[in-house]
Amino acid sequence: MLEPGAEVRTWLAPAKINLALHVTGRRADGYHLIDSLAVFTRFGDRLEIEPAEHDEFSVSGRYAAGLPLDGDNLVVKARDALRREAGAQHAPPVAIKLEKNLPIASGVGGGSSDAAAALNSLARLWKLDIDDISLARIGLSLGADLPMCLKSKPLVARGIGDDLSPLPAFPALGLVLVNPSVAVLTPDVFKALSSRDNETLPPLPKRLDFHAVRNWLETTRNDLEAPARSIQPAIGEALKALKRADAAFVRMSGSGATCFGLFETGNVAKRAAIEIRARHPDWFVAATRSMEVTDGEA
């Protein structure tokens, strides 16, 4: 039995950025098929988890307001799903504190990443004998983004987001994330999508560096950007702000409304974020870097 206060773990729930996202079809059950290159950033939400006498869950941070604290929250769902899998005797009570730094319904996988961090952290805290395949199965039952968020490494996701190909090497990218303080619901964006049977992503270049990635991205799309902009025109303003700050490449992530700009170095990204924040103090703006993977690490 774990004693309360015996062990506290802090876990990053990184933002997931879809650098490219092609919608390639639709299944009979309504799920859309995608082909997406995704990376994860050093900025995100944070979970603090420790043993407790009874289960507790609390939320703090800039975007805490309005988040459910009961079984409707994905973190609570993840805790309960893993406990069912492991058996209550192997999964004693825990206190979970979520620091919500990412905007809600913003296309960066915030809720899914929170739940994935909960699954990964609790599996270790409870010392469960559970493999990655089982964790991914539990994750997928909570949402299509969960399997890739459990990996939290550069990858190509296909199918409904559950067919994952981690990349053997991928550089860290300087990024500025911008959300013009609007939320857009994923089902609404897919409903507004005009074409659901688009071509898959082109092959990645053999040698990957900043310039190769940027040039490759120019040959790709986010098929959800146009429908999201039709619902929330402010997305276009965010993209303009990133271009004005001299981003080397700009695009919306996921189903929006968060947009990203690529910058050659972290320092240039920080200066751009300061510039955008000064012009738009009510927006969410964050300079960060994506997590890299070196040869043989995946």
| Buried/exposed code over 199-225 (b: 16+ C-beta within 10 A; e: otherwise) | eebeeeeeebebeebbebbeebbbbbb
Cα–Cα distance, 12 to 15 (Å, whole number): 9
Cα–Cα distance, 233 to 227 (Å, whole number): 10
Beta bridge partners of 270: none
Catalytic-role residue among 145, 151, 153, 223: 145
266 burial via Cβ count (<10 Å: 0-12, 13-18, 19+): middle
Catalytic-role residue among 16, 77, 151, 153: 16
| Buried/exposed code over 152-174 (b: 16+ C-beta within 10 A; e: otherwise) | bbbbbbbbbbbebeebeebbbbb
Helix axes of 110-125 and 74-86: crossing angle, nearest 10 degrees = 30
Q: Are 93 and 53 in contact (CB under 8 A)?
A: yes
Beta bridge partners of 175: 262, 288
> SS3 for 203?
coil
Q: Is 16 among the residues known to form the active site?
A: yes
Helix axes of 234-244 and 266-279: crossing angle, nearest 10 degrees = 130
Q: Is 145 among the residues known to form the active site?
A: yes
Residue 28's φ and ψ, nearest 5 degrees, are -60, -30
Q: Are 241 and 280 in contact (CB under 8 A)?
A: yes
The residues assigned a catalytic role are: 16, 145
